[in-house]
Structure 1
Amino acid sequence: MNARGSGVRWLVTGARGQLGTELVDALAGRDVTATGRAELDVL
């Protein structure tokens, strides 16, 4: 399957930043999980 196929899932870290926001917008309609710093804080 290619990157636009239905079997691909995307994880975007830093989704609240400039690049992350643009990437999430570009991946609209796909299976995307977008996280910011707060969601990934493990401490």
Structure 2
Amino acid sequence: MGRWLADGNIEYLGRNDDQVKIRGFRIELGEIEACLARHEAVKETV
């Protein structure tokens, strides 16, 4: 997501979803959180 500034530049505001790109692969952060939450040593994920 971004917006036009008065000087004509575009300001990058970030993504509007919970994906990140790691080494060219799009990763859903919720999938990582769910996987970690299933581990016996993890008490809580946020």
TM-score by length of 1: 0.27
Structure 1 or 2: larger helix share?
Answer: 1
Whose Rg is larger?
Answer: 2
Greater per-residue strand proportion: 2
Which one scores higher on RCO, CA 8 angstroms, separation ≥ 6? 1
